[in-house]
Amino acid sequence: MLGLLVPGFGLAAPYTPAQRDVVVETLPAIDPAVSEQVQTLHRRLAAAPQSVALATELARHYIDLSRQTDDPRYNGYAQAALRPWWEQPQPPTEVLMLRAHLLQNRHAFDQARSDLQQVLERDPRRAQAWLELAAIERVTGSLENAHKACAALLTLASALISGTCLADIASLTGKGQGAYATLDRLLQTASADAAPGLRRWALTIQGEIAWRLGQPALALQALEAALELAEEEGVFDGYLLGLWSDFMLARGQARPVRKRLAPYAHSDALLLRYVIASKRLMADDAIAMADVLRRRFEASQRRGDTVHQREQARFALDVDEQPAEALWLAQHNWAVQKEPADLLLLLRAALAFNPAAAAPARAYLASTGLEDVRAEVLIERLDQLDAAA
């Protein structure tokens, strides 16, 4: 019954390879030294299962592995390491920090926010807690609260950190030009020994802002510089790769996207971009790789996992060409997170199936003052449909 009523609920049977030697998926390689560290920590924790220090160290290693591979299973292992304290209302501070990160990763934003607020009640000068709280408020569209969290960093972190945080939020509230200029100044004046990861973050935000302001040359310059830093560090930055891919796809540049993302099929978000690029190019593996991603989404639905609703909605819209399902998923995604990418997805899905469904996105644009030429184009097309109706 539910399968008939809810788009996407009717799931295909699990995929079973016809032969034993069929490769279903290739997972990213893990540094043997890291694996040995994890095994050593497991042994030490088994001997002292109530050691908060050992448990949190092991959890951090797993979280790092999740970032390195974009494999969510490592976050599950991190949670398992924290099991003795996971359900406690007031666990140790280090456990709270890690629990908040893992909850945020699962889009349990209210619980993550509560944990971070508890950390800050204990230690108001905990810069990382303010930064993670700002990220949660940003994702959920609570931009005033996000600004307050960023402002708290002014006396706790470097100018590059606090300034990037504030500029990012300012760019979402009608102050895009000033935010871009602020980031330009921060990047030029940042000390030579500023961590490459911080510069990469600032450049990524700058690229996003330039794209929203309709400055594609500046956007590409910032994103390419950020990618260059990631490559120099040997760091996997899935968010940056996804953003660059979206920018290139929007400019009709599917071929470089397919080439750059080929090694990252382990990431659902990046495989989605690879599949979209492959479909546009009518590549030989387009159908097969779409099937791989479809099975992953079906598996996540069976687990009750809604983390990838944005990607599922885009898959339904751009790959399966199922606008009704895409809109249903985009609406559910919008109820949870409200970043510019979520807004654009809701507008596109509404344009494809039901223009009236764009009302929440229109209201958000009006209330925040967000400047985004991409949204403006979609709104204009929606207005034309309304006028023609």
On whether the CB atoms of residues 157 and 194 are closer than 8 A, the answer is: no
Burial of 351 (0-12, 13-18, 19+ CB in 10 A): buried
Most confident segment among 15-29, 34-48, 189-203: 189-203
Q: Who wins on pLDDT, 3 or 173? A: 173
13: burial class by Cβ within 10 Å (0-12, 13-18, 19+)? Answer: exposed
Instruction: Please report which confidence band the pLDDT of residue 68 belongs to, taking 50, 70 and 90 as the band edges.
Output: confident
Least confident of 182-191, 198-207, 231-240, 304-313: 304-313
**DSSP label of 364:** H
Residue indicated by tokens 């929440």: 360
Q: What is the pLDDT of residues 74-97, one digit of tens each?
A: 999 999 999 999 999 999 999 999
pLDDT of 302 above 70: yes
Identify the CA nearest to 295 among candidates 2, 13, 5, 1: 13
Burial of 42 (0-12, 13-18, 19+ CB in 10 A): middle
**Closest residue by Cα to residue 169 from 190, 151, 193, 154:** 151
Note whether 102 and 86 are within 8 A (CB): no
Question: Would you list the DSSP string of 122-186?
Answer: H-TT-HHHHHHHHHHHHHTT-HHHHHHHHHGGGGTS-HHHHHHHHHHHHHTTT-HHHHHHHHHHH
Model confidence pLDDT, tens digit, residues 165-197: 999 999 999 999 999 999 999 999 987 678 999
Rounded to whole angstroms, what are the CA distances from 197 to 16, 116, 179, 180, 309?
41, 23, 20, 19, 28
Q: What is the pLDDT of residue 14?
A: 42
Question: According to the model, what pLDDT value does residue 213 have?
Answer: 98
pLDDT band at residue 18 using 50, 70 and 90 as cut-offs: low
* pLDDT (mean) for 278-298: 96
Q: What is the overall mean pLDDT for the chain?
A: 90
Q: Is the dihedral of CA 372, 373, 378, 382 positive or negative?
A: positive
* Structure token pair of residue 13: 């049977």
Q: Where residue 386 falls among pLDDT bands split at 50, 70, 90?
A: confident
Asked if residue 21 has pLDDT above 60, the reply is no
What pLDDT was estimated at residue 251?
97
- For residue 23, the 8-state DSSP code is -
Burial of 162-175, coded b for 16+ CB within 10 Å and e otherwise, reads bbbbbbbbbbbbeb
Confidence of residue 11 (pLDDT cuts 50, 70, 90): very low
Q: How far apart are CA 122 and CA 148, in angstroms?
A: 18
pTM of the model: 0.89
pLDDT range class, residue 263, cuts 50, 70, 90: very high
Output DSSP code: residue 15: P
pLDDT beyond 50 at 12 = no
Residue 62 in this model has a pLDDT that exceeds 90:
yes
